[in-house]
Amino acid sequence: MMAALRTPRGLATALILLVLAVLPLLTQAFDQRYLLSIGTRIVIWSIAAVSLNMILGYGGLVSFGHAMFFGIGGYAVGILSAEGVSSGWIQWPVALLAATAWAALIGALSLRTRGLYFIMITLAFAQLVYYVGSGLEAYGGDDGLNISRSRFPGLIDLRDKASFYWLCFALLCASLWFCGRYANSHFGLVLRGAKSNELRMTALGFPVFRYRLAAFTIAGALGGLSGILLANEGAYVSPAMMSWMKSGDLIVIVVLGGMGALFGPLYGTIAFFVLEEALPPLLNLAHKGWGEYWMIVFGPLLVLIALYARGGIDSLLGRRHE
């Protein structure tokens, strides 16, 4: 544990986690409440990115529809809330169950395909969910739906920004802990082996499909959790939270941070949010009005990462010791 702190990776990760752990205190001290809201979204998106990393990073399964789990988790909470069920004890399990069941179902169908077809079919399912969401006129349609935050009477008040942030942060830590165990478990090694050489793993007697389906389902459940949190963060759900662009952002985050690296999703999310917030003002500084086109800088940056830093930000922090 202490030895890990002496590597650049260990030090950077420890610092990030430390700052995240005390973020509400910092933002209060410096009176920057807007930053806490960004911090909360970073933590929630990190959970989603961890869940995508579980299939994309360790399984090599490029799911181009992961934001649909934002939608499933979010809408389950939103619809229940609109129907007057405000208890989190009901909302959250229902939302998790819905995300898990949906992941198992579409996983069972999409995992029969490979490569580009898998990308397209996951995208297609995500679009399906998206259009169902925008077709739900009773629940706001395209405009989305204002909701009240889940209630956990006597336990925690999610309307309190700091409490809600700490809850999200605790769930992120739990996700990272689980993902770390998962990656090196018997299950994780089979998944990673199948990423490396599916035919070989089959010849060793592993029913690869079942392992991938289990991974996809777990990732879907965790993705659903991030959707629940996202809905509670803004007290609002809308189809936009599951657009294909959000799915693309999640892939970018995982690739940027380092596929198959435990903390990669965390680095990736932070880098993504920081660039998204910092690039427009920087470009506006260079020339007024350029800020709008921050993607012109961001895009090539991703290309550079893809070309020269295959392991993403994680690989820039030195070699990994497994």
Partner 1 sequence: MTEPLLRTERLVKRYGGLLATDNVSIDVRPGEIHALIGPNGAGKTTLVHQLTGVVAPDSGAIHFAGRDVTRLATHARVRLGLGRSFQITSVLREFTALENVALAVQGHAGHSFRFLADARHDEALRGPARRLLEEVGLGERAGTLAASLSHGEQRQLEIAMALAGEPSLLLLDEPMAGMGVEESQRLIGFLRALKQKHAMLLIEHDMDAVFQLADRITVLVYGRAIASGTPDEIRANPDVRQAYLGEEAA
Residues that bind partner 1 (CB under 8 A): 178, 181-182, 184-190, 192-193, 196-197, 199-208, 211, 214, 322
CB of 182 to partner 1, least distance (A): 5
Q: In the chain, what are the helix, strand and coil shares in percent, each to the nearest 5?
A: 75, 0, 20
Vertex 90: Cα angle to 48 and 160 (nearest 5): 65
CA dist., res. 264 & res. 312, Å (int): 8
**Closest to partner 1 by CB, 21 or 189:** 189
The answer to whether the beta carbons of residues 27 and 35 sit under 8 Å apart is: yes
Q: Helices marked H in 185-234 — which ranges? A: 186-196, 198-203, 208-234
CB of 194 to partner 1, least distance (A): 9
A 10 A CB-CB count for 45 gives 26
Q: CB of residue 224 vs partner 1: minimum separation in angstroms?
A: 18
- Give the integer Cα–Cα distance in Å for 238 and 20: 27
Instruction: Give me the residue label for tokens 């898990």.
Output: 100
Question: Which residue's CB is nearer to partner 1, number 58 or number 92?
Answer: 58
249/314 with CB nearer partner 1: 314
Among candidates 76, 121, 104, which has minimal Cα distance to 247?
Answer: 121
Least CB distance to partner 1 at residue 186 (A): 4
Nearer to partner 1, 152 or 182 (CB): 182
Identity of the residue, 93 or 207, whose beta carbon is nearer to partner 1 in the bound complex:
207
Q: Name the E strands within 96-195.
A: 145-146
- Residue with smaller CB distance to partner 1, 208 or 266: 208
- Using the minimum distance from each CB to partner 1, give the nearer residue, 193 or 280: 193
CA 8 to chain centre: 24
Q: How far is CA 141 from the centre of its chain?
A: 24
CB of 30 within 8 A of CB of 190? Answer: no
- Facing residues of 156 across strands? 152
With residue 236 as reference, give the H or E element that holds it. strand 236-237
Nearer to partner 1, 16 or 309 (CB): 309
**Two structure tokens written together for 199:** 């035919």
Nearest distance from residue 192's CB to partner 1, in Å?
Answer: 8
Min CB(206)–partner 1 separation in Å: 5
- Give 33 or 114: the residue with its C-beta nearer to partner 1: 114
Cα separation of the two ends of the chain = 13
Min separation Cβ 259 and partner 1, Å: 12
Among left, alpha and beta (phi > 0; psi -120 to 50; other), residue 187 is: alpha
Report which DSSP code applies to 237: E
3: tokens are: 């030895």
